[in-house]
Amino acid sequence: MSSHHQVPASFQLSRVVADLRHSREETHKIRHLGRVRELPSREALEEVLKGLFAALFPTHYGRSDLTDESIDFFVGSVLSVALNTLSEQIRRGLYFSSNSNLEAEATFDALAEKLTTQFASELPAIRALIVSDIRAAMSGDPAATSISEILLCYPGVSAAIHYRIAHALYELGAPLLARFISEIAHSKTGVDIHPGAKIGEGFFIDHGTGVVIGQTAILGKNVRLYQAVTLGAKRFPEDDEGNLIKGAERHPILEDDVVIYAGATVLGRITIGARSTIGGNVWLTRSVPPDSNISQAQTLGH
């Protein structure tokens, strides 16, 4: 070690290191099941996503010079690399999912391969949903000039593609990986969609930034949200000991063709009826019937 990297004795590094070990192993132990495990890698998942995006939309996210002869070879090539990496990341994630015990550790390789195979078989259906989202963007935004512009420049559509991939993994039993992917999307787009949310076809988020959709939200077909919309929980149910009850249905249900404008906050397990419009900055904690038109002025005094 060169002299300018020498650590001053006053730092008492060996004592700090020992105290940190004591914190990890004894006093503040949070290590999963008491064993050191390789965590899923964000970098690896970002590479997986690049490969999946390229396989789903080869000329937009892959290579622009692809021909009819080369495109299938290209898709097969990027997919084989992406799925191999995904399988390893799923295997790592299985150590941290609540329903996996370490006695089943020997089966994790085979289980990861099985889940990856199932996921791969769902890619055409995932792509069909994404295409419905792109069409919703094209018809819902007068500024949209082309499919290419939407795929390359719309953060709300990018967030929706990430969500469609994450939701499929979540449903298959890889929740930690799904959360990782939603966080990658969140940091890139400013849109935070929990992978457990259920969202129908033709979903469009215009502008995107600041949108939050909670774990148990259910959105029907052709729902459109604008920036800074929150579909959140009103309260967090607790058990008798004051611990939060995980997974309780606490987020809104939006029926088909609902539009929610910028800055609106919709909280609790309430239902927004089909074809309703919720105006900007509305704070809504009660259900509204189909074909409702709720604006700020109407909600004052409730």
pLDDT 10s digits, 189-233: 999 999 999 999 999 999 999 999 999 999 999 999 999 999 999
Domain range for 149 is: 39-191
Number of domains in the chain: 2
Q: Mean pLDDT, to the nearest integer, of 76-80?
A: 97
Confidence of residue 38 (pLDDT cuts 50, 70, 90): confident
Same domain, 176 and 253: no
Per-residue tokens: 100: 């996996």
Note whether residue 140 is domain-resident. Answer: yes
Note whether residue 251 is domain-resident. Answer: yes
Note whether residue 109 is domain-resident. Answer: yes
Same domain, 43 and 187: yes
User: What sign does the CA torsion over 170, 175, 181, 184 have?
Assistant: positive
Domain's final residue, options 149, 164, 191: 191
Quick one: pLDDT at residue 85?
Answer: 98
Confidence of residue 116 (pLDDT cuts 50, 70, 90): very high
Note whether residue 263 is domain-resident. Answer: yes
Same domain, 153 and 75: yes
Quick one: pLDDT at residue 98?
Answer: 54
Note whether residue 270 is domain-resident. Answer: yes
Quick one: pLDDT at residue 4?
Answer: 58
Same domain, 244 and 115: no
Confidence of residue 242 (pLDDT cuts 50, 70, 90): confident
As a whole-number percent, the residues of the chain with pLDDT over 70 amount to 92
Q: What is the CATH number of the domain that holds 220?
A: 2.160.10.10
Same domain, 217 and 184: no
Q: Is the pLDDT of residue 283 over 60?
A: yes
Note whether residue 3 is domain-resident. Answer: no
